[in-house]
């Protein structure tokens, strides 16, 4: 005889909360993504970026959660892929094929596998059929706030010098700065004043103990993202900001000596040793490699590091990432590769901003605030990528594609939602 439990509809067979409502599969995935981010934050030895092939085990957290969700749902259905999904899927497949070819036939050591394998995390949301509820969205924002707070505490601890025997050098530096600003955005969305005040105080301490130029840039990007997503703001704001950002970037590249002089002046003013000469050497080496094959680069079969010389007398050679993900894509994928990356970024930005405004119009404020929080993280990450090797690290790549998956799992705004729903997070 069939038990009563097995005769219930599938949606009611989910594990229930104390209040009796089922937990959505999107929330299950969201918790797995937050757990992965927390492990990245607590990785004091940078194992998930420098741990060899074992570092890819980090990806098992969201992928295992996806398999469990798919098995529980007992259906072959998945969500319909969005335009950004299709662009990213093409990029990932081509990149993985290039990395495999480079590894097997060219014996490439620092392959693009660490760039493209974490992209699989971006597609995990496709298997979570039900979007999170209002309460689950609030909990996800709260989780992002705590991940950001824990990262800032770890960063401050590392900068204080007390944890030199515990924390490896440069673990809590510019490449993971998006955790800080995403956490602050989450605290603002939740209206948690004590948490926000604590974060701001920690942020000031982190900057004073390590006055990075990247922090100045990404702070400006965060302010611009908030301005772009102000309720009742003009729909032209994203395009105005994109045009302004491109103009500033082009001017900085055209007037590179002036840009370098300004950077050196900044580092001199804050008492920090400038590393612009090293970055310039890496960038120039990357551009020289790009000029050898400007259309498709190495077709993602080559290395994501380059050998340069630290001194003008050609002593002290060292191998390092390009410290600019856009230069890295120019070298490994040429103009075509970089164009696809930028196409995906623009498509994602448009998709998220459109759905953000739709959620506001539908009265789904919590969903809108989660999107805004995640958008801050995305924008800060790819702004920091101008000066830092972001996507070459498995943990950083997995984290930003987790951000993308959380963005997309919210699906579309529901115009039928009542206007009198709670508006506070």
Q: How many domains does the chain divide into?
A: 1
181: in domain: yes
Q: Is 76 domain-assigned?
A: yes
Whether 265 has a pLDDT exceeding 80, the answer reads no
% of residues, the chain, pLDDT over 70 = 82
The mean pLDDT of 62-73, rounded to a whole number, is 95
Report if residue 415 sits inside a domain. no
Rounded percentage of the chain residues whose pLDDT exceeds 90: 64
- At residue 258, the pLDDT reads 62
Confidence of residue 8 (pLDDT cuts 50, 70, 90): very low
- Does some domain include residue 241? no
Residue 252 has pLDDT above 70, yes or no: no
Residue 244 in any domain: the answer is no
pLDDT on residue 412: 83
Q: Is residue 215 domain-resident?
A: yes
Is pLDDT of 67 > 80? yes
**pLDDT averaged over every residue in the chain:** 86
Query: Is the residue at 392 inside a domain?
Result: yes
pTM of the complete model beyond 0.95: no
Domain hosting residue 208, numbered range: 21-233+275-408
Digit-coded pLDDT (tens) for 208-227: 998 888 898 999 999 999 99
300 or 1, which is more confident? 300
Q: Is residue 262 domain-resident? A: no
Residue 4 has pLDDT above 60, yes or no: no
**Separation between Cα atoms, residue 154 and residue 139, nearest integer Å:** 22
315 pLDDT band, cuts 50/70/90, is: low
Between residues 30 and 76, the one the model is more confident about: 30
């Amino acid at each position: 005889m069939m038990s009563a439990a097995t005769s219930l509809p599938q949606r009611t067979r989910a594990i229930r909360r104390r209040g009796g409502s089922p937990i959505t599969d999107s929330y299950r995935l969201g918790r797995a993504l937050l757990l992965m981010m927390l492990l990245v934050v607590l990785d004091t030895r940078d194992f998930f970026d420098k741990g060899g092939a074992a570092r890819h085990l980090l990806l098992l957290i969201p992928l295992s959660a996806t398999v469990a969700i798919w098995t529980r749902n007992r259906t072959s259905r998945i969500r319909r892929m969005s335009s950004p999904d299709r662009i990213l899927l093409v990029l990932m497949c081509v990149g993985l094929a290039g990395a495999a070819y480079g590894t097997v036939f060219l014996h490439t050591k620092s392959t693009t596998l660490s760039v493209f394998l974490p992209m699989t995390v971006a597609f995990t949301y496709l298997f979570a059929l039900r979007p999170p509820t209002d309460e689950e969205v609030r909990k996800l924002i709260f989780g992002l706030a705590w991940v950001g707070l824990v990262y800032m505490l770890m960063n401050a601890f590392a900068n204080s010098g007390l944890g030199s025997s515990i924390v490896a050098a440069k673990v809590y530096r510019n490449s993971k700065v998006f955790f800080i600003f995403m956490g602050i955005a989450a605290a603002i969305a939740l209206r948690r004043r004590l948490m926000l005040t604590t974060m701001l105080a920690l942020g000031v301490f982190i900057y004073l103990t390590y006055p990075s130029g990247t922090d100045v840039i990404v702070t400006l990007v965060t302010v611009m993202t908030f301005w772009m997503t102000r309720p009742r703001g003009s729909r032209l704001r994203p395009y105005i900001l994109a045009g302004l950002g491109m103009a500033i970037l082009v001017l900085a590249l055209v007037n590179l000596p002036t840009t370098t002089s300004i950077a050196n002046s900044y580092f001199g003013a804050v008492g920090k040793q400038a590393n612009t000469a090293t970055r310039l050497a890496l960038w120039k080496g990357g551009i020289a490699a790009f000029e050898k094959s400007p259309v498709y680069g190495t077709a993602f079969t080559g290395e994501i590091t380059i050998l340069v010389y630290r001194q003008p007398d050609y002593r002290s050679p060292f191998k390092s990432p390009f410290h600019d993900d856009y230069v890295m894509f120019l070298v490994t994928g040429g103009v075509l590769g970089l164009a696809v990356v930028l196409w995906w970024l623009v498509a994602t930005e448009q998709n998220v901003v459109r759905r953000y405004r739709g959620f506001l119009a539908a009265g789904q404020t919590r969903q809108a605030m989660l999107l805004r929080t995640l958008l801050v993280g995305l924008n800060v990450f790819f702004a920091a990528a101008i000066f830092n090797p972001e996507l070459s690290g498995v943990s950083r790549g997995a984290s930003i594609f987790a951000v993308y998956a959380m963005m997309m799992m919210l699906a579309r705004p529901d115009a039928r939602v009542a206007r009198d729903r709670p508006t506070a997070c």
